[in-house]
């Protein structure tokens, strides 16, 4: 329902994509990365499609695709920073008591906190690639006062990969047909994502293992002779 609602507005804004396309991607991804629950697929997949057609500001498919990904990343970071500082300054009691007025239910906050406590800072990266939790993992990071540099690094890495995947799907669909409706784009892209999600999970698992091993060896105390 949310996706269908947003598709109508995406279709309306396409006629202005050449001028405002990158700005719209930035703004929608910033909103999506904060509290407003709508799927990033409705923004990034059509943006990748428009990039392939050269309908954005540069008129060059490769430049437009790179710019779309960067705008998606920048917007995601802005939304994530909003959630981070919101939680940092207001704290856990406020979020649990009044979060529902900001479209954040207590059980959702509890779920995000549990994931963050179990998996630590790496959760801010992993959850950026998972539906239903990617926006709210910034809240426990703010509550726990996670280092802003590390928060930015992990969030940016996850958001950048996610934006690139979605924009790449749109770009790929553009190579198949330039006459698709935006409803077909979004749902076709989501089907491609669903069919290949196992590879994304394996990719995430590999990165976690590499991170855990490198962290273990870096933090392992050196033996000193007596």
pLDDT in tens, 173-207: 988 876 777 777 777 888 888 888 787 778 777 76
Q: 222 lies in a domain? A: no
Between 14 and 72, whose confidence is greater?
Answer: 72
Q: 137 lies in a domain? A: yes
Q: 35 lies in a domain? A: yes
pTM of the model: 0.81
| Mean pLDDT, residues 74-103 | 87
- Are the C-beta atoms of 128 and 73 separated by less than 8 Å? no
pLDDT at 62: 92
Q: 225 lies in a domain? A: no
Listed in sequence order, the residues at least 6 apart from 218 whose beta carbon sits closer than 8 Å to its beta carbon are none
Q: 150 lies in a domain? A: yes
- Note down the domain range covering 196: 2-217
Q: 223 lies in a domain? A: no
Q: 201 lies in a domain? A: yes
pLDDT at 219: 46
What CA–CA distance (Å, rounded) separates 89 from 116? 18
Number of domains in the chain: 1
Model confidence over 6-42: pLDDT tens digits?
Answer: 555 565 555 556 556 888 899 989 988 887 767 888 8
Listed in sequence order, the residues at least 6 apart from 74 whose beta carbon sits closer than 8 Å to its beta carbon are 26, 29
What is the residue-averaged pLDDT of the chain?
80
């Amino acid at each position: 329902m949310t996706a269908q609602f947003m598709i109508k507005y995406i279709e309306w804004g396409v006629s202005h994509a050449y001028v405002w396309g990158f700005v719209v991607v930035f703004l929608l991804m910033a909103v999506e990365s904060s509290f407003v629950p709508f799927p990033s697929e409705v923004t990034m997949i059509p943006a990748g499609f428009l990039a392939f057609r050269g309908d954005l500001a540069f008129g060059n498919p490769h430049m437009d695709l790179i710019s779309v990904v960067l705008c998606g990343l920048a917007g995601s970071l802005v939304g994530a920073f909003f959630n981070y500082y919101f939680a940092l300054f207001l704290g856990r009691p406020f979020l649990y008591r009044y979060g529902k007025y900001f479209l954040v239910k207590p059980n959702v906050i509890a779920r995000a906190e549990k994931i963050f406590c179990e998996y630590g800072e790496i959760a801010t990266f992993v959850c950026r690639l998972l539906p239903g939790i990617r926006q709210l993992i910034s809240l426990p990071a703010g509550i726990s006062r996670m280092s802003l540099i590390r928060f930015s690094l992990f969030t940016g890495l996850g958001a950048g990969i996610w934006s690139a995947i979605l924009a790449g799907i749109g770009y790929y669909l553009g190579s198949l047909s330039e006459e698709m409706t935006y409803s077909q784009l979004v749902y076709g892209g989501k089907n491609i994502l669903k069919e290949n999600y196992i590879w994304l999970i394996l990719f995430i698992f590999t990165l976690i293992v590499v991170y855990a091993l490198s962290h273990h060896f870096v933090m392992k105390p050196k033996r000193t002779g007596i």
